[in-house]
Amino acid sequence: MFLIHCPYCGEREQSEFKAGGEAHIVRPKQPTELSDDQWAEYLFMRKNIKGVQFERWVHTHGCRKWFNMVRDTSNDEIKAIYKMGEKPPTKYK
Amino acid sequence: MKNKYSIISLIKNSFSYHENWQKAWGDPEPKKEYEIIIIGGGGHGLATAYYLAKKHKIKNIAVIEKGWIGGGNTGRNTTIIRSNYLWDASAGLYDHALKIWEKLSQELNYNVMFSQRGVMNLAHNLQDVRDLKRRTHANRLNGIDAVYLNTQQVKKFCPIINTSPDIRYPVLGGTLQRRAGTARHDAVAWGYARGADEMGVDIIQNCEVKGIKRNGDSVDGIETTKGFIKTKKIGVVAAGHSSVIANMAGLKLPLESKPLQALVSEPVKPIIDTVVMSNAVHAYVSQSDKGELVIGAGTDDYVSYSQKGSHEIVEGTLNAILELYPIFSRMRMLRQWGGIVDICPDASPIISKTPIKGLYFNCGWGTGGFKATPGSGDLFAHTIANDEPHKLNAAFNLNRFVSGDLVDEHGAAAVAH
């Protein structure tokens, strides 16, 4: 259990949120031209990093808005939170 | 040569106050080179090494373990063993394991305390009833014992269940696999370790893998905290850390690692002599030989390697347990822990070759790997030794995520993942 600072509502309990997996996976622009390997990469393959990871969360039991989070998956420490469409903070790249 | 465990050896050793038992496995320094290296000294890894040595007569094998053997998910699961899976591929895989379980203590000369006390899966709504009946039929077509029970039969088999129609999720029926049950999870790791050690497998503990050396499209060895070890074949059985190892080899896997929690109560007198699982309310419970209730909770929905997990997951599970078993309302919980499980998008494992020659992965067991331990080791050993999968694990290849030929056991497998 940890606290998450929703960029729209402020600090709330993690139980109000839902994790949406790895962030910045771009939806293919030309889906009809994708090979099976490229589909597999887009749909299934994940970095699943132990350490600092970029991910999406949604404030399900709050404003229901999506946002991005930078989190250390080895100890659940949240490093940064930024809105959808904003550039990810460069210091964690 | 290991001394055989028997009643006679037990009596003999009692005269020396059990202080002179032979060491069950050694503590060797790594050699410069091995024919095959297994990364991960849990049940699956040790079983793989055991069958590589025993069935495939490979002499020069090492098991590399970051911590101590059986100290990861092998010692963190809720010890449930069953094979009542819906799809043919899964049924084949898990029943292969169950058949080995039935003779494992004798084979290893190590009591893994396999107890076929039955596993009952409950139905709480009409869709559950239909799904469970369908699964029962599918199981029987695959030669797996399964029966469907109505509410009265559920109550008769496990009298402490609250079968009142007034509860939030009433018990409408259930399935029972009588051959299913539990085993002592530590003993499985120890038994396989002892057996593998006897056949010359080096079990190297406290040795963390830091990198995988590649030579073009094949593997050349591993970097560890105890130095570089050369090898042409690497079998990775690292559970929650599979992606971390894959990353070292420049490979991406379709896995997400998440905390799965379990908890045990204070020990009490025998009250539940079977395993009861409920998919809909996500609670399962059995009783250990020490008398503790062993309760399995669900996974968190975020990636984490922290071995902790959220409190509300445990709370949700206990809510369900209390509604189903009001008798437990004043039980106190003793310990709670988390293990990191690697979950595949189709909730089925990967026992497979990879695009890198000499690199094999056995991963993606998600929340239900313990039951498969002997079968997984046997089939993974076959895959590594022959560089080809056995027919029982052919469907569980890595390429299914490209071909789309998934083994979708989400929910179908009698418990939600």
Quick one: closest CA in B to A15, which residue?
A: B312
The pLDDT tens digits of the residues spanning B110-156 come to 999 999 999 999 999 999 999 999 999 999 999 999 999 999 999 99
Mean pLDDT of chain B: 95
The partner residue sitting opposite B306, judged by closest CB among A21, A39, A74, is A74
Distance CA(B12)–CA(B65), nearest Å, equals: 33
The partner residue sitting opposite A37, judged by closest CB among B243, B305, B402, is B402
Span B66-71, average pLDDT? 95
Q: How many CB atoms are located within 10 Å of the residue B257 CB?
A: 25
Sequence-separated (6 or more) residues with CB below 8 Å from residue A74 = A50, A51, B305, B306
B232 conformational bin, left if phi > 0, alpha if psi -120 to 50, beta if neither? alpha
The partner residue sitting opposite A46, judged by closest CB among B254, B305, B306, is B254
- Is A48 in contact with B402 (Cβ distance < 8 A)? no
Interface test with B, best of A15, A16, A44, A60 (most B CBs within 10 A): A44
What percentage of chain B reaches a pLDDT higher than 70? 98
pLDDT given for residue B53 in this prediction: 98
pLDDT-derived band at B281, boundaries 50, 70, 90: confident
Q: Tokens 């830091």 identify what position? A: B210
Among residues B189, B224, B176, which one has the least CA distance to residue B50?
Answer: B189
- CB burial readout B27-40, b (16+ within 10 A) else e: eeebeeebebbbbb
Structure tokens at B404: 């789309």
Residues of chain B with C-beta less than 8 angstroms from the C-beta of A22: 303
Q: Phi, psi (5° rounding) for residue A52?
A: -75, 120
Beta bridge partners of B365: B343
Residues of chain A with C-beta less than 8 angstroms from the C-beta of B243: 46-50
Distance CA(B221)–CA(B233), nearest Å, equals: 8
Q: Tokens 């622009």 identify what position? A: A29
Quick one: closest CA in A to B255, which residue?
A: A46
The partner residue sitting opposite A46, judged by closest CB among B256, B306, B403, is B256
The pLDDT tens digits of the residues spanning A45-72 come to 999 999 999 999 999 999 999 999 999 9
pLDDT for B376 beyond 50: yes
The partner residue sitting opposite B241, judged by closest CB among A50, A57, A75, is A50
CB distance B271 to B176 below 8 Å: no
Distance CA(B414)–CA(B121), nearest Å, equals: 7
pLDDT-derived band at B279, boundaries 50, 70, 90: confident
pLDDT given for residue B307 in this prediction: 86
Interface test with A, best of B242, B299, B305, B341 (most A CBs within 10 A): B305
Q: Tokens 């045990």 identify what position? A: B264
Pairing of strands B61-64, B33-39: parallel
pLDDT given for residue B82 in this prediction: 96
Residues of chain A with C-beta less than 8 angstroms from the C-beta of B342: 48
Kindly provide the ipTM of the predicted complex, given to two decimals: 0.95
pLDDT for B417 beyond 70: no
pLDDT for B411 beyond 90: no
Among residues B264, B261, B238, which one has the least CA distance to residue B251?
Answer: B238
The pLDDT tens digits of the residues spanning B286-341 come to 999 999 999 999 899 999 999 888 888 999 999 999 999 999 999 999 999 999 99
Pairing of strands B359-363, B227-236: parallel
| H or E segment and range at residue B196 | helix B185-198
Span B274-289, average pLDDT? 92
pLDDT given for residue B409 in this prediction: 85
Distance CA(B228)–CA(B370), nearest Å, equals: 31
Question: Sign of the C-alpha dihedral, residues A66, A69, A73, A76?
Answer: negative
Distance CA(B263)–CA(B278), nearest Å, equals: 16
Question: What SS3 class is residue B42?
Answer: coil
Span A11-20, average pLDDT? 95
The partner residue sitting opposite A45, judged by closest CB among B253, B301, B308, is B253
Structure tokens at B103: 């003779």
CB distance B367 to B339 below 8 Å: no
Distance CA(B105)–CA(B114), nearest Å, equals: 8
Quick one: closest CA in A to B247, which residue?
A: A47
Q: Which has the higher per-residue pLDDT, B279 or A16?
A: A16
Residues of chain B with C-beta less than 8 angstroms from the C-beta of A18: 301
Span B182-211, average pLDDT? 97
Distance CA(B354)–CA(B85), nearest Å, equals: 26
Quick one: closest CA in B to A48, which residue?
A: B256
Q: Where does residue B54 rank: exposed (0-12), middle (13-18), buried (19+ CB within 10 A)?
A: middle
The pLDDT tens digits of the residues spanning B383-397 come to 999 999 999 999 999
pLDDT-derived band at B282, boundaries 50, 70, 90: confident
Chain B contact for A46 (CB, 8 A cutoff): yes
pLDDT-derived band at A2, boundaries 50, 70, 90: confident
- Is B401 in contact with A44 (Cβ distance < 8 A)? yes
Structure tokens at B169: 């999720």
The domain made up of A3-27+34-92 has a fold known as Folate-binding fold (3.30.2270)
Residues of chain A with C-beta less than 8 angstroms from the C-beta of B252: 41, 45-47
- Is A18 in contact with B303 (Cβ distance < 8 A)? no
The pLDDT tens digits of the residues spanning B228-245 come to 999 999 999 999 999 999
pLDDT-derived band at B415, boundaries 50, 70, 90: low
Question: Sign of the C-alpha dihedral, residues B169, B411, A66, B300?
Answer: positive
pLDDT given for residue B412 in this prediction: 47
Among residues B228, B201, B204, B197, which one has the least CA distance to residue B61?
Answer: B201
